Structure 1
Amino acid sequence: MSPHPYYNPELHGPYERIDIGPLDLEDGGQLPQCTLAVAVHGQLNAAKDNAILVPTWYSGTSKIMEQVYIGPGRPLDPAKYCILVVNQIGNGLSTSPHHGAKPWAFPKVRIGDDVRAQHRLLTEHFGIRRLALVFGGSMGAQQTYEWAVRYPEMVERAAPLAGTASNTEHDTLFSETLCEALTSDPGFAEGRYGSAAEVAAGLRRHARLWTVMGWSTEFFQQGRHRALGFDSMNDFVDRFMSGYFGPMDPNNLLAMAWKWQRGDVARHTGGDLPAALGRIRAHTYVMPISHDMFFPPADAERECHHVPRGVFRPIECIDGHLGLFGTDPAAIAQIDANLRELLALPA
């Protein structure tokens, strides 16, 4: 495994890297050694029916999921549940481009490949046959839908947050601009750069684009950056947004963006999205964020109508998509209330 100063247990741990063996990929090719980084909170009970799966979002790792959504007395309580936060392929902790000798030649991985890998991990390594809940935000929501459609008999409850089952053309186009911010940097050198520092300008552009779309217009209008401790918007962009994305590996970000753009459960049913969503057996709380410009509530509501036990529960939060970071305590309280209610429903 190639060293990288950003992807390490000191910043993102503790987690365990578990080798699940070779993984054949939906678009062809193979990961000859697929290793998933897993953070486990709590313990499996004797029946192994208290497991909750939490997949990660674009750029995120298991650490932020723990910090924002898991804790004593909360719905995701390690004293009651065994909460497995599985880092998606390509995020830097699980098998990722920067681990290989030729990171620019990393094979194309889909959301479905992540979910099949997670299924193998849970069933073969942990012996889990039922999931009390699958809960994920953004790309984690894409994985949540994929789980509920692909393995309907295994998922008792699902909670996709700030994400959709089928990526829209608008979202695909915008994520393409995020990719171009990286690949247009001369230092990117077709992915053959020596370190992320050589793509610093591209990573800054990437961070600025995220600032524009990740936060809402109301976030800017109300000066929410000041409530987060930043005196000016420039300071917020430089220290928070560029500070967040700046250390990351560009090839890792591109690998995640490629599967984000192509997230679509309808490929299970020949392009028929209602039919795919109709496969879901889980109690499903669909939770878009009110001011999200990536995955707006209207898109999530249209999909929710086709989920047999789907309940539409939008989260009011002017911060927009990046309210996922936990910047608005009131929004997190709404999410917790929904998860508590969902977990109380009979399987």
Structure 2
Amino acid sequence: MNDYYTQDVHGPYETIDIGRLELEEGGVLEHCMLAVATHGTLNAARDNVILIPTWYSGTSKIMEQAYIGPGRALDPARYFIVVVNQIGSGLSISPSNAPAAIAGARFPKVRIGDDVRAQHRLLTEHFGIERLALVVGGSMGAQQTYEWAVRYPDMVERAAPIAGTACNTEHDFLFAETLSEAITTDPGFDDGGYTGPEAVAAGLKRHAKLWTVMGWSTEFFRAGRHRALGFEDMQAFVDQFMTGYFGPMDPNNLLCMAWKWQRGDVGRHTEGRLPEALGRITARTYVMPISHDMFFPPSDCLAEQQLIAGSEFRPLVSIDGHLALFGTDPNWMSDLDRNLKELLSLPA
């Protein structure tokens, strides 16, 4: 067992068995266990629900720490906030905690749509929820937000995809490919049969370095933001923060999520016709890219936003790039809160 994926590190959360989930790629999760953190109280009308899906490598804990709180847009005094850890996250069913028959490299391929169908079952059958005041998520959470808005338009009243796209680009596919290859080319990876993350330490460090290069921006380093965050120099930032973050994670979990990320595409609902798929969205939608994001640049997000009727393009400025999602830039966080409060104030 990997001690990183525990209640001590990422709790509190509840693990809920939603039953048998047949996957788009043909596999099956006989007992699809979802790790779920809730904040606030479901009102009598059951119409104060906000759903937050998680991003690559992230868990419900970062959402609690950076995005949820009194006076914030995501205020548990007003809303019932449900954070669902995606399949493969290490908390929900994943290569690292699955039954032996499907553990590790044997874990079946999972798509963004599988996550959303699992979340839909959780909300409707476990919680009795039929309407969502808001679905909001960053990066892979944005991919799931788009999937929700396209797949279940009658259920989603508002949508806020942050720093993510509805259809992953070929350029971003290659970005993610390099992240995966950093892990799989480590001899210690052993085709996914490693004994633990420590056996793949070199690959995980390369993975962390690539995230450092692409997750932040050139302006981030030019401005000395890594020093402002408390690190002596770039090498210390890589070794202590970035490698410290990715080093304890299970490589097969990261590969499971990366495979999903690469293939995120709501156009599969309409035989590849993205405009038709995005035309299904009826939610009040704010598309919110990050100005210096190299994974999901604003231009990619704008091209999709223009296909969503009644949506608004609300780019948020931060030289922290994609990883402003970590909550490192207070000004960015304030702008995000302001936009989310405005979106939540709009009539559904």
Q: TM-score, normalised by structure 2?
A: 0.99
Between the aligned partners of 1:193 and 1:144, the Cα distance in structure 2 is 34
Note the C-alpha offset of 1:86: 0.3
Name 1:239's counterpart in structure 2: 240
Of residues 66, 87, 90 in structure 2, which corresponds to 1:89? 87
Cα distance in 1 between the residues matched to 2:281 and 2:157: 10
Shift of 1:220: 1.2
Matched with 2:288 is: 287
Which letter does structure 1 place at the counterpart of 2:156?
V
Aligned residue number for residue 128 of structure 2: 127
1:13 — aligned with what?
A: 11
Give the equivalent residue in structure 2 for 1:173. Answer: 174
Shift of 1:223: 1.1
SS in structure 2 at match of 1:46: coil
The aligned residue for residue 298 of structure 1 is 299
SS of structure 2 residue aligned to 1:99: coil
The Cα shift of 1:221 comes to 1.0
- Alpha-carbon shift at residue 309 of structure 1 (Å): 2.0
Matched, 1:191 2:189: no
How much has 1:4 moved relative to structure 2?
Answer: 1.4
- Partner Cα separation in structure 2 for residue 140 and residue 188 of structure 1: 27
Match of 2:231 in 1: 230
1:71 aligns with 2:72: no
Shift of 1:46: 0.6
Letter in 1 for 2:32: C
SS in 2 for 1:130: coil
- SS of 2:96's equivalent? helix
Amino acid at match of 2:198: A
Q: Which residue is 2:336 aligned to?
A: 335
Q: Which residue in 1 is equivalent to 2:119? A: 118
User: Is the deviation greater in 134-143 or in 100-109?
Assistant: 100-109
- The number of residues matched between the two structures is 345
- SS of the counterpart of 2:37? strand
Cα distance, 1:124 vs structure 2: 0.1
2:20 aligned residue: 22
CA distance in 2, matches of 1:29, 1:54: 25
SS in 2 for 1:155: coil
In structure 2, distance between residues paired with 1:165 and 1:29 = 24
Q: 1:103, CA displacement in angstroms?
A: 1.0
Match of 1:98 among 96, 99, 117: 96
Residues in 2 aligned to 1:95 and 1:61: alpha-carbon distance in whole angstroms: 13
Q: Counterpart of 1:251 in structure 2: which amino acid?
A: N
Give the distance between the partners of 1:99 and 1:66, measured in 2 at CA. 23
Amino acid across the alignment from 1:106: F
1:88-126 CA deviation, whole Å, 9 max, x = no partner? 000000000011323111000000000000000000000
Q: How many Å apart are 1:5 and its aligned residue?
A: 0.9
Q: Which amino acid aligns with 2:227?
A: R
Q: Which residue of 2 aligns with 1:31?
A: 29
